[in-house]
Structure 1
Amino acid sequence: MLMLREFRETSDLKVAQVAERVGVPYETYRKWEKGDSNPNWEQLCKVADVLHCSLDDLTGRRETLTRDERAMLAKWRSLSDQGRTTVLAVMDSFQEGDSASSEERSA
């Protein structure tokens, strides 16, 4: 079963928004989410682009991320190169702080 609804909700999009961006009627996309019908290959690729995920993600062929992880990944993919560099620097500073705290506890 496709994970359309999960990825759409993580992307904070409404059914109508995804349907419009993919170029299909609202009812068509709604049926895909409910599992009443399935998109063709081209449509599925468009959905993955709109929802900022891979086809493996949509089809459940890969390890499933938590809702929070999917939200973070969607935000990451929307960042500029400068934004990504900033986020990585902040994460590195947190990791360094965590490492120092672990060493202090071990001593």
Structure 2
Amino acid sequence: MNRIRELRKTQKLSQQDLATKIGVDRSTIAKWETGINNPRTNKLRQLADILSCPLEALLPESKTKHI
């Protein structure tokens, strides 16, 4: 979820700023950014709103190849 980090920095938000806006701990944001954990659906919607991006931009890319 490096995309969260990129978008957060574009918005000039620290991990703590984003965590406060969403209502989670700063460590939760760090875990999302490193891929240790993934945000739940309701948090993804909040992230998309705060980071001014479409929800799809926060979803992990598919690892399967289409033939």
RMSD of aligned C-alpha atoms? 1.6
Which aligned segments of 4 or more residues in structure 1 are displaced greater than 3 angstroms?
Answer: none
Q: TM-score, normalised by structure 2?
A: 0.81
Percentage of identical aligned residues: 38
Shift of 1:2: 5.4
Measured against aligned partners, the alpha-carbon deviations of 1:46-72 in whole angstroms (never above 9, x if no partner) come to: 1111111111122266xxxxxxxxxxx
Measured against aligned partners, the alpha-carbon deviations of 1:62-90 in whole angstroms (never above 9, x if no partner) come to: xxxxxxxxxxxxxxxxxxxxxxxxxxxxx
Aligned runs of 1:12-27 on 2, under 5 Å?
Answer: 12-27=12-27
Q: TM-score, normalised by structure 1?
A: 0.52
Question: Where does structure 1 lack aligned partners over 5 or more consecutive residues?
Answer: 62-107
Aligned residues: 61
CA distance in 1, matches of 2:60, 2:39: 15
Question: Where does structure 2 lack aligned partners over 5 or more consecutive residues?
Answer: 62-67
Aligned to 1:52: 52
- The answer to whether the Cα contact below 8 Å between 2:2 and 2:34 also exists between their aligned partners in 1 is no
CA distance in 2, matches of 1:7, 1:43: 15
